[in-house]
A and B are shown apart, each in its own frame.
Chain A
Amino acid sequence: MACFLVLTAEAIVTTVAEKVIEKKEKTSLEAEIYKSEGKEISDVKIPLSKKLKWLNNMAWGGCALLAFEHVWHGEVVPWFPFLTAASNAEDAAEMLHEMGTVGVVMAALVTTVWLGMCAVASYVKKRAVEKDDAKAEV
């Protein structure tokens, strides 16, 4: 009915967070230290803003495609109140229940998969940096 709206709300928050963090990363003390060593933060670790971009791509992409599916099934319409279920109280209650169950699980699963991706990527990056450092020492 409108389950994709939960992840859309999450995507709005994480998109704003990505922009703010990206700005902060560029001017942070850590970036300055790496710059003085002739390095970028991305040479040493995967920046959080980049990781958030992966989540945003998954969330916005998924929401766009699911929104299309809801249009296909006549659950989302281009006129007010946009959600057909919102036109009467009984359907609205069912819609809110679906958002609270299916929608929340969708958001939780996408976020969990993203956390897994971040953990694997950080591990791979850390090992690559350690190998490079070991080579440099030899």
Chain B
Amino acid sequence: MTLLVSTFAAIVCTIVWYTNENREKLKLGFLALMFWGASLMWFVDAIFEYAELKAEYFTPTAEDMLNDLFLGLSVVALGFIIWLVVLMIKDPKGIVKATVLKKN
């Protein structure tokens, strides 16, 4: 479930990166690559788990699925927080700087 959630996040971010003119300024490539990296890593994890559990891998208990879904959503939230922090620090549009330097 975590793999599925992160893969969907990666696909959505890649589509947004492809269609958005401000992809460089918004660092959308970084966001998409971050989710793709995590998805690839969880994919390998899933293969090893499948090799161990065989068909049982595809029939998780409801409790495990819920926990994995909760983890997957938390991972996506963390990914967005990391991206936002990087965006605020790099501040490509100078908005943070302008706001901080604003006198009134």
- The answer to whether residues A61 and B82 also contact, given A3-B45, A101-B48 and a CB cut-off of 8 A, is yes
Who on chain B is nearest to A56 by CB?
B33
| A72 neighbours in B (Cβ, 8 Å) | 71, 74
| Candidate in A3, A59, A65 with the most chain B CB atoms within 10 angstroms | A65
Tally chain B residues at the interface, Cβ within 8 Å: 25
Which bracket fits the contact residues of A? 20 to 34
- The answer to whether residues A62 and B41 also contact, given A54-B33, A57-B33 and a CB cut-off of 8 A, is yes
Looking at chain A's contact residues, the main secondary structure is helix
Who on chain B is nearest to A108 by CB?
B44
Q: Hey, what's the 0/1 contact readout for A12-27 against B, CB within 8 Å counting as 1? A: 0000000000000000
**Number of residue pairs across A and B with beta carbons under 8 Å?**
78
| Candidate in B29, B44, B79 with the most chain A CB atoms within 10 angstroms | B44
Do the beta carbons of B78 and A110 come within 8 Å of each other? no
Do the beta carbons of B2 and A61 come within 8 Å of each other? no
Could you say which of B30, B43, B44, B79 contacts A65, with CB atoms under 8 Å apart? B79
A3 to B48, CA, bound (A): 12
| B35 neighbours in A (Cβ, 8 Å) | 61, 65
Residues of chain A from 58 to 77 with CB closer than 8 A to chain B in the complex: 58-66, 68-69, 72
State the A residues within 8 Å of B (CB).
Answer: 3-4, 7, 54, 57-66, 68-69, 72, 101-102, 105-106, 109-110, 113
Question: Would you mind naming 30 contact pairs between A and B with Cβ atoms under 8 Å apart?
Answer: A7-B41, A54-B33, A57-B29, A57-B30, A57-B37, A58-B37, A58-B40, A61-B30, A61-B38, A61-B79, A62-B37, A62-B38, A63-B41, A64-B34, A65-B37, A65-B75, A65-B79, A66-B42, A68-B75, A69-B75, A72-B74, A102-B48, A105-B47, A105-B48, A106-B45, A109-B41, A109-B43, A109-B44, A110-B40, A113-B36
